[in-house]
Amino acid sequence: MPTTIQCLWFNGEAEEAANYYVSIFPNSRVGTIERYPEDNPFPNSFAPGTALTVEFELDDQPYVALNGGPEFTFSEAISFMIMCKDQGEIDHYWDTFVRDGGQEQPCGWVKDKYGVSWQVVPEDLSRWAADPEQSVKVMQAIAPMKKLDLATLRAAAGEA
């Protein structure tokens, strides 16, 4: 099966964003950085030497950050799920994104300072969603939340 790689379009912040993300996630690193050349064939782009693409990995998953310009921006139509094993992990990711200029969103979603949407959720969510009785109760508990409270969700699922 071919490998799929997420490519995130930035307006000049690709290298900064890649470095930011690898500072948050374990088992992460910045890889190859391709830079805009002196004889840049792309009109109205970035200065020579600016990162064109930055390959990076977040918890061993491949990504590419592309400095493409202002034409496109991020929306909630695409988001990345962070499956957290405990409240400490939920707090780490959520609090880091919000502290660094992100925006709290409903139901465990948060936008980072670049506008990328993340769903910071417990790994148990899929299991709860598969059970019709638990699903309704857990979704009712999630609805009024921003950052998810794992103890409240476990109680709603009947696991407290």
Could you read off the pLDDT of 13-27 as tens digits, one per residue? Answer: 999 999 999 999 999
Q: Which pLDDT belongs to residue 39?
A: 87
CB distance 117 to 111 below 8 Å = yes
Angle made by CA atoms 8, 11, 17, in degrees to the nearest 5:
55
Non-local (6+) Cβ contacts of 92 within 8 A are 24
The closest of 127, 128, 105 to 115, measured between CA atoms, is 105
Dihedral sign of CA atoms 119, 125, 131, 133 in order: negative
| Model pTM score | 0.93
Q: Which pLDDT belongs to residue 40?
A: 82
Helix axes 14-24, 87-99, angle to 10 degrees: 150
Q: Which pLDDT belongs to residue 76?
A: 95
- List, run by run, the mean pLDDT of 10-residue segments along the chain (160 residues): 91 98 97 93 84 96 96 96 98 98 98 98 96 94 98 94
Q: What is the largest CA-CA distance in the chain?
A: 63
The letter for the amino acid at 10 is: F
Structure tokens at 107: 């139901």
Q: Which pLDDT belongs to residue 41?
A: 81
Structure tokens at 10: 């930035």
Q: Give me the residue label for tokens 């202002």.
A: 70
Strands (E), 12-133: 29-35, 51-58, 61-67, 79-84, 103-104, 109-111, 117-122
Q: What residue ranges define each of the domains in the chain, with the CATH number in brackets?
A: 6-67 (3.30.720.100), 79-156 (3.10.180.10)
Q: Label residues 116-137 b or e (16+ Cβ within 10 Å = b).
A: bbbbbbbebbeebeeeeebeeb
